[in-house]
Amino acid sequence: MHWTILIKSHPDASGNPVLQGLRMAAAALADGILVSLFLSEEAASLALHLENPGDRQRVHHDLLAEIQELGAEIYVIGLDWMHAVGSLTLIPGVKVASMKTLVRQMRLSDQVVAL
Protein backbone atom coordinates (compact mmCIF):
# COMPACT_ATOMS: atom_id res chain seq x y z
CA MET A 1 0.00 0.00 0.00
CA HIS A 2 1.21 3.50 -0.82
CA TRP A 3 -0.02 6.89 0.39
CA THR A 4 0.67 10.34 -0.94
CA ILE A 5 0.33 13.00 1.73
CA LEU A 6 0.16 16.60 0.55
CA ILE A 7 0.62 19.25 3.21
CA LYS A 8 -0.13 22.79 2.08
CA SER A 9 -1.35 24.48 5.28
CA HIS A 10 0.60 27.15 7.13
CA PRO A 11 2.73 25.64 9.93
CA ASP A 12 0.91 27.85 12.46
CA ALA A 13 -2.61 27.20 11.12
CA SER A 14 -5.45 26.70 13.56
CA GLY A 15 -6.05 23.05 14.40
CA ASN A 16 -2.39 22.28 13.61
CA PRO A 17 -2.95 20.37 10.32
CA VAL A 18 0.80 20.33 9.61
CA LEU A 19 1.56 18.52 12.86
CA GLN A 20 -1.33 16.11 12.25
CA GLY A 21 -0.12 15.39 8.72
CA LEU A 22 3.44 14.74 9.84
CA ARG A 23 2.28 12.50 12.67
CA MET A 24 -0.01 10.62 10.26
CA ALA A 25 2.90 10.07 7.86
CA ALA A 26 5.13 8.71 10.64
CA ALA A 27 2.37 6.42 11.95
CA ALA A 28 1.59 5.09 8.46
CA LEU A 29 5.27 4.37 7.83
CA ALA A 30 5.59 2.62 11.18
CA ASP A 31 2.60 0.48 10.16
CA GLY A 32 4.29 -0.62 6.92
CA ILE A 33 2.61 1.80 4.51
CA LEU A 34 4.87 3.46 1.95
CA VAL A 35 4.54 7.25 2.04
CA SER A 36 5.47 10.06 -0.31
CA LEU A 37 5.21 13.39 1.48
CA PHE A 38 4.80 16.63 -0.48
CA LEU A 39 5.13 20.10 1.06
CA SER A 40 3.60 22.92 -0.96
CA GLU A 41 2.08 26.39 -0.73
CA GLU A 42 2.38 27.66 2.84
CA ALA A 43 3.95 24.41 4.09
CA ALA A 44 6.89 24.67 1.64
CA SER A 45 8.81 26.65 4.25
CA LEU A 46 9.03 23.46 6.36
CA ALA A 47 11.64 22.20 3.89
CA LEU A 48 14.06 25.02 4.75
CA HIS A 49 16.99 24.36 7.04
CA LEU A 50 16.92 26.81 9.98
CA GLU A 51 19.92 27.56 12.20
CA ASN A 52 17.83 28.51 15.25
CA PRO A 53 14.34 27.05 14.90
CA GLY A 54 11.62 27.86 17.39
CA ASP A 55 9.92 25.15 19.44
CA ARG A 56 7.19 24.44 16.87
CA GLN A 57 9.67 24.41 13.98
CA ARG A 58 11.94 22.05 15.91
CA VAL A 59 9.04 19.62 16.42
CA HIS A 60 8.21 19.79 12.69
CA HIS A 61 11.85 19.23 11.70
CA ASP A 62 12.21 16.34 14.16
CA LEU A 63 9.14 14.68 12.64
CA LEU A 64 10.47 15.25 9.12
CA ALA A 65 13.74 13.57 10.14
CA GLU A 66 11.82 10.64 11.64
CA ILE A 67 9.73 10.33 8.47
CA GLN A 68 12.91 10.22 6.38
CA GLU A 69 14.44 7.61 8.69
CA LEU A 70 11.34 5.47 8.27
CA GLY A 71 11.89 5.52 4.50
CA ALA A 72 9.57 8.16 3.08
CA GLU A 73 10.46 10.38 0.17
CA ILE A 74 9.91 14.06 1.04
CA TYR A 75 9.36 16.58 -1.74
CA VAL A 76 8.84 20.32 -1.82
CA ILE A 77 6.90 22.08 -4.56
CA GLY A 78 6.83 25.75 -5.46
CA LEU A 79 10.19 27.13 -4.42
CA ASP A 80 10.07 30.01 -6.88
CA TRP A 81 10.08 32.31 -3.83
CA MET A 82 13.33 30.81 -2.52
CA HIS A 83 15.51 33.34 -4.36
CA ALA A 84 14.01 35.99 -2.08
CA VAL A 85 15.12 34.23 1.13
CA GLY A 86 18.81 34.47 0.36
CA SER A 87 21.23 31.79 1.44
CA LEU A 88 18.77 29.41 3.10
CA THR A 89 19.08 25.77 2.10
CA LEU A 90 16.77 22.78 2.12
CA ILE A 91 16.81 20.15 4.83
CA PRO A 92 19.12 17.33 3.67
CA GLY A 93 17.22 14.66 1.78
CA VAL A 94 14.29 16.85 0.76
CA LYS A 95 13.85 16.85 -3.01
CA VAL A 96 12.50 19.63 -5.20
CA ALA A 97 9.57 18.42 -7.30
CA SER A 98 7.07 19.78 -9.77
CA MET A 99 3.30 19.51 -9.90
CA LYS A 100 3.83 16.90 -12.59
CA THR A 101 5.68 14.73 -10.06
CA LEU A 102 2.88 15.20 -7.53
CA VAL A 103 0.16 14.27 -10.01
CA ARG A 104 2.09 11.20 -11.16
CA GLN A 105 2.57 10.09 -7.56
CA MET A 106 -1.08 10.70 -6.68
CA ARG A 107 -2.16 8.56 -9.63
CA LEU A 108 0.00 5.67 -8.42
CA SER A 109 -1.13 5.91 -4.79
CA ASP A 110 -3.77 3.86 -3.02
CA GLN A 111 -4.62 6.80 -0.76
CA VAL A 112 -4.17 10.56 -1.14
CA VAL A 113 -4.41 12.79 1.93
CA ALA A 114 -4.35 16.58 1.63
CA LEU A 115 -4.04 18.88 4.63
Q: Which long-range contacts (CB under 8 A, 24 or more apart) does 85-89 make?
A: 85/48, 88/48, 88/49, 88/50, 89/48, 89/49
Number of domains in the chain: 1
Residue 107: domain span: 2-114
pTM here is 0.90
pLDDT of residue 80: 64
Q: Mean pLDDT, 10 residues at a time, over the chain (115 residues)?
A: 96 93 97 97 87 82 95 87 62 91 96 96
Q: What is the CATH number of the domain that holds 107?
A: 3.40.1260.10
